[in-house]
Amino acid sequence: MSDNDKIVITAGLTGALTSKQNNPAVPYRPEEWAVEVKRCEDAGAAVIAVHFREYDLGEPTVDTIVMQETMDAITSNCNCIVNLSTGVGANVSLEERKEPVLQHRPEMASLNPGSINFNSVNWRTGEIAVDNTYINPYEYTLLYARIMHEKNIKPEMECFTPSHIENVLWLKKYNDWFAQDPLHFGLVFGVAGAMQFNESNFANCLSLIPHDATWMGIGIGPNCWKVALASAAFGGHIRVGLEDGLWTDNSTRTLSKGSYDQIERAVEIAHQVGRAPATPLETRRIFNLRGDND
């Protein structure tokens, strides 16, 4: 089976919002990360998406010690590609958000090319629980991108609306160092205040992405498995895990035992459409990464 028939499966273990109150399997401490990343790798994940979390309360953090101890736990216990977040969390400043890639040199890191409303709502009643604006000005997108360029870190463009794809193409047009080819996109569906998952939004995003680019579908909450299946069927890659959804089965409300059982289901989806999960080595070729020894 060629690389074109492979699916890169990313495990998002925490994100910035999911807590142990939502699911006790969300890792905060290094020893918890070590166990969960190994389970995800064994289940079929090739990439681990990392939001650093404070050890006791689980708040997003860029504390130097927390980041180093967590990275050591991850890299000593699995061979997966590490993808660090420059989104970090709502209460972390734009200046602080560069710290993960400034202090570390992962093979990949998230890059946000535009601002959105990022809310928590009750979809049945319309009640707004959290009304938040996720600020990503061009100035800071370019700052983070410059650091990634200088350290040969592959950006994953986190696009919450079709306009974010347009932003990426515009920024690259006038800054040829902005990101190496092929560009890699994470298409995020289901955030309240951003694009929802439907046929027209999905098709529009795919029409805007350059033909030689790679992309991954990310479905939030109840969108998780619909987006995973559509991404697999239309040639994309998949992210699942407790960062994005709490359930291995939305219809039965079966709570995930961890992110690893969502990876197992993503592997099943890959096989159902005639594809297979990519290994970390294959992923480095597919995404044109520098390699962990470079």
pLDDT score recorded for residue 130: 84
Per residue in 18-38, pLDDT tens?
Answer: 999 999 999 999 999 999 999
**Domain-embedded: residue 292:** no
Tokens of 234: 């239309």
**CA distance to 13, 48, 208, 274, per residue, from 83 (Å):** 11, 6, 24, 27
Q: Rounded to an integer, what distance in angstroms lies between the CA atom of residue 3 and that of residue 222?
A: 30
CATH of the domain at 256: 3.20.20.70
Per residue in 75-102, pLDDT tens?
Answer: 999 999 999 999 999 889 999 999 999 9
pLDDT > 70? residue 293: no
Q: Percent of the chain at pLDDT above 90? A: 88
Nearest residue to 241 (alpha-carbon basis) of 214, 226, 221: 221
Which H or E run includes 56?
none
**Domain-embedded: residue 254:** yes
Per residue in 148-163, pLDDT tens?
Answer: 999 999 999 999 999 9
Nearest residue to 277 (alpha-carbon basis) of 3, 82, 12: 3
pLDDT score recorded for residue 294: 67
pLDDT score recorded for residue 251: 86
Average model confidence (pLDDT) across the chain: 95
What DSSP letter does each residue of 195-247 carry, written as one string? ----HHHHHHHHHHS-TT-EEEEEE-GGGHHHHHHHHHHTT-EEEESTTT-SE
**Domain-embedded: residue 293:** no
Does residue 182 have a cis bond before it (omega within 30 degrees)? yes
Q: The pTM is what?
A: 0.96
Per residue in 233-261, pLDDT tens?
Answer: 999 999 999 999 999 998 888 999 999 99
pLDDT score recorded for residue 2: 79
- 286 vs 129, more confident: 286
pLDDT > 80? residue 224: yes
**Domain-embedded: residue 30:** yes
Number of domains composing the chain: 1
**Domain-embedded: residue 146:** yes
Find the mean pLDDT for residues 106-125.
93
pLDDT score recorded for residue 129: 84
**Domain-embedded: residue 294:** no
Question: What is the domain range of residue 223?
Answer: 3-287
Q: Rounded to an integer, what distance in angstroms lies between the CA atom of residue 179 and that of residue 181?
A: 7
**Domain-embedded: residue 205:** yes
